[in-house]
Amino acid sequence: MMRNWPVKLITSFSRLYSTRQASQCVMTDSRRVAICQMTSVEDKAKNLEVVAKLIQDAAKEDVQMLFFPEGCDYLCANKADSVSQAEPIIGGATVGSYKELAAKHNVWLSMGGIHEKLEFYSKFYNFLNTYLPFLGPADPKKAYNTHVIIDNKGEIVQTYRKLHLFDVEIPEKNIRLKESDIANGGGHIVTPVETPVGRVGLSICYDLRFPELSTSLSILKAEILTYPSAFTQPTGKAHWHVLLRARAIENQCYVIAAAQVGTHNAKRKSYGHALCVDPWGTVLVDLEEVSPCYKVVELSEQKIKDVRLNMPVFQHRRRDIYSLYTLSLRKDLLPLHSAAPLPSCSSPPPSAHSAHSAGEPGYTFGHVTVPKTCVFYKSELTYAFVNLRCVIPGHVLVAPIRTAERNKDLTEEEAQDFYKSIRIVQALMEKVHSADSCTVTMQDGRNAGQTVKHLHCHIMPRKKGDFIENDLIYLELAKHDQFKPGHPAKPARTREDMEAEAQFLREELEKMINEKINRINEINEINRINEINEINEINEINEINEINEINEINEKDEVNEMNEKNEMNEMNEMNEMNEMNEVNEMNKE
């Protein structure tokens, strides 16, 4: 049932003491969500009253998560006010109130598109942008449009900064919305967050028009795509429903789009029609133009499974032809804008891999950087490089370009590319070292011996007798880079030695690829010749058949002619005999 009431009735509300247990971040049998719709104004206190009332009432219906629209904190008519009222996410009063409400009512909150003040950047922006370039360019005089996820304990578990800013001017309709006047664009996609109602992928409003983002999130195992919005009325009437249904259908996810509705000020009106769409594209909830209101809906994990089983479109994707991983789905996938501070790491002694000049091109490998000059193979998602400390000659490493600590952290496309690359590199190393065998191994996790927190595969070409006991290679691998007292690591190779090996391997890889291409061309040429021969044989057979047919026809014609002649002769003879008989009879008379 939809709940709505006039804003003027919202005054004070009694505290609701929940007896429900804290929600766990897994999908359970109960997956009740509330989709909310409101009409934000400039007054943050009034907007907060609306939010609080919606949370209080929905919590009574045992919902586990509520979804609020873009601009749920405030919407101003003027640019200066929009920026000046922004608050930091951490320490800000508005987000602080949201956190208290979440903990008080034991619910998760999706607060879509609040104005985030860059207070920290104002002092240290130049420093941060120099040393933390992944934060992306930002104007400290503008805010971010930030989607915040808060758990039922009142903790921020994920934030996403809107990537696509809505800039539109329609003078004849008196519409001018330039989001870039007040907001910075975000710098990366964030990984979907585990919630009690499923794995939620974060987007905001105008992001809806860019299907690459939603597809990227679904590849990253999102089950629910969110589009908290403040759509204008003209664009809403034309595209709102069809876009949301399309995102649900093509990604086979639930789509939840909380919405702003009605008149916010003299310059701005919103379309409303907050929606929940299921993975088949069926609209489960449409809040039309009611405000403020919410509606509860049950999500079904089984529905997602059934749709994906019956229409397995992601299995049918032609990853050999196209890939969305050209969209910066590498380090940028890490949730760098979460509330938690970035983790610090203690590094082992300096290595040749990290001894490169500032600004020199390279690849992040755990706590070190591999110079590009030490890399001999690179695909779209994977690279291979020579080793600093080799167990045996030809010992090289293969790693995903994106920082992924464990095998389980790889996405489906990354895993496919990673193992395909391992096969190519293995073939190269066996060829270069005249080996007929290879040890291919991963130390997946600390207790498995992993010393660099970045998934990598060791490839070591093997020859008969290279170890007295074949499996001793694993003991050598376990201690070859240790720095413990009494267990000195193998001496590090020089940069020059490593670069020379990488250059040699690049050349050999090119030769191997060319040889393969030549073999393919030879096979194609043989097939082409065989096809020509087959065609010639067929043509010869056809010619023989045609000749035989002609001969048969000629023979038939000759026989027919002879038969006709014989018939004529017989007739002539009969005629002669008849004439003779007639003459004889006449003579008798």
Distance CA 35, CA 291 (A): 12
Cβ–Cβ under 8 Å, residues 197 and 227:
no
Distance CA 357, CA 336 (A): 26
Q: Indicate the annotated binding residues for substrate.
A: 387, 443, 449-452, 458
Distance CA 8, CA 3 (A): 15
Dihedral Cα 257, 261, 264, 266, nearest 10 deg:
120
Q: Which pairing describes strands 382-386 and 375-378: parallel, antiparallel, or unpaired?
A: antiparallel
Q: How many CA atoms lie within 13 A of 51 on its CB side?
A: 33
Cβ–Cβ under 8 Å, residues 259 and 270:
yes
Encoded tokens for 446: 């600390």
Distance CA 384, CA 502 (A): 10
End-to-end CA distance of the chain: 129
H-run or E-run covering 104: helix 93-105
Distance CA 241, CA 254 (A): 14
Cβ–Cβ under 8 Å, residues 165 and 183:
yes
Query: How far is CA 334 from each of CA 81, 109, 187, rounded to the nearest angstrom?
Result: 32, 21, 11
Residue bearing tokens 């043989």:
526
Distance CA 1, CA 32 (A): 13
Taken in order 50, 52, 57, 63, the sign of the CA dihedral is positive
Distance CA 458, CA 396 (A): 6
Catalytic positions are 456
% helix, strand, coil for the chain, step of 5: 40, 20, 40
Burial (Cβ within 10 Å: 0-12, 13-18, ≥19) of residue 204: buried
Distance CA 509, CA 495 (A): 21
Dihedral Cα 493, 496, 500, 506, nearest 10 deg:
90
The residues, any chain, with a CB within 8 Å of residue 57's CB and separated by 6 or more, are: 3, 294
Distance CA 264, CA 291 (A): 12
Distance CA 222, CA 240 (A): 21
Taken in order 132, 217, 139, 82, the sign of the CA dihedral is negative
Q: Look up residue 374 and give its DSSP letter.
A: G
